[in-house]
Amino acid sequence: MTDKINKSISEVLPDFFSKNQVDEFQYIFNSSLESKSNTEVFQKENSLDFKVEAGLSYRSQIDLLVTFAENKLEREKFLSLLLYLGQASITNGEFSAAIDVNEKIINLTKDDRNMANLAANAHLLIGEIYSRQASWQNCLESINIAIGLFSSISDVKGIAKCENLLGTVYGDLGDIQKAVESFESALEKSNDELNYTQKGKIEINLGIVKSIKGLFDEALVYFKRALVNYQKVNDKKRIAEIHQNIGMVYFKKGDYKLALNEFDESLALGIETNYQQQIGIVYLSKASVYSSLNDYSLANAFADKSLEVSHKLNDKLTIADVYKIKGIIQKNVSNFLLAENYLLTSMRLNDEAGNQLNLAETYQELGLLYKQMDKITESKRYLNLAMKYFKEINSETDILTIQKLLGDF
């Protein structure tokens, strides 16, 4: 296969088509490119050389393949291909394509009880996309439809997948208690020794909750347990997520060397699998580390790269976080006016997205900025706003930090 076809598509073609059919699709695709110039290929040599593709090439491949497959494959096999393409599109950051593919699955399986599982998974994947874009109402509607379909066929594991996603939504919205309840309910339904992947997903999320609360050792237990599960099935995308989360624990503990090692592991796997959202998140994490190491030039470079990826994906939560770290960088180089603008932008985006945790973290940074600017009233106001939320979720580490800051006035 030529390298012009996206890897996630080329590697799966032999699973669905005969060799002659694969060659036929290759010919169709090559013909579609004859009048086009070559796209820019991304380089691995340096982690900052990752190129964000425009998306048209990948999307055109999906369009051509769906049309080709619809005329070649039996219904069930065609639906299985669509489900795979929907998930692959999410990984590649092609959310519009993913939604279209999953909506096609939903339309093709409408009112067919024998296909309820496929339809439910399609709704769940659409819910996952909306969660990444902070479109909470659409997300919750999709999850609830999926729960109804899974319930109609008594698919307990399917319901567990829905509850796990619900937990991440509640976590993003700052309701940590509801998040924990959803994760624990999902874990109970997935209590199967061989169900490595689903248990691993839930353990990752429970680890994130522990990390938010400052319970770092407990968080590491969950992450390392999940890592073992995903290594059993060699799921490189999830392994990348776990290395990122372990790195964040080390970062919060102030062990920057170990944090960078974990982030580099995550980034390498993210690039290998073209997991674009993960790549954007790791760039942001590396920016945070280099800012803490006072290497503001490198920190800013990684922040800008994260912003580039996140804008392409419309990943609103990461975009808000990038502005926060850019604000911290500018504060540390005494460019207070630009720092204020970045932090207020982060605050606005987090408020619009309903992300209470990130909003509280931005309040804290604004409190630090205004303290440095001798705007004491404003500093106290934002620190107290942050304190209010951290008390709600019982984050002892953050509470103690803000108490100390307020005590210094």
Opening angle at CA 253, ends 276 and 290, nearest 5? 50
| Cα–Cα distance measured from residue 158 to residue 262, given in angstroms and rounded to the nearest whole number | 31
Q: Are 222 and 207 in contact (CB under 8 A)?
A: yes
Q: How far apart are alpha carbons 113 and 110 in whole angstroms?
A: 8
Contact indicator for 136, 355 with CB cutoff of 8 Å: no
Under 8 Å between Cβ of 132 and 277 = yes
CA–CA dist 358, 211 (Å, integer): 14
Neighbours of 406 (CB within 10 A): 15
pTM for this structure?
Answer: 0.83
The 3-state DSSP class for residue 46 equals coil
Q: pLDDT > 70: what percent of the chain?
A: 92
Write out residues in the chain with pLDDT < 70, as ranges. Answer: 1-3, 33-56, 192-195
Nearest to 149 by CA among 113, 184, 181, 176: 113
User: What is the end-to-end Cα distance of the chain in Å, rounded?
Assistant: 66
Place of tokens 């080709």: 68
Query: Domains along the chain?
Result: 194-274 (1.25.40.10), 290-396 (1.25.40.10)
Nearest CA to 109 out of 83, 131, 71 is that of 83
**Dist CA 123 CA 140 (whole Å):** 10
Rounded CA separation 376/73 (Å): 68
What is the per-residue pLDDT for 50? 65
- Dihedrals phi, psi of 135, to nearest 5 degrees: -95, 80
Cα–Cα distance for residue pair 219/203, rounded to 1 Å: 9
Tell me: the pLDDT tens digits for 31-60?
776 645 444 434 444 566 666 554 447 888
Q: Which residues contact 127 (CB under 8 A, 6 or more apart)?
A: 138, 139, 140, 141, 142, 143, 146, 162, 165
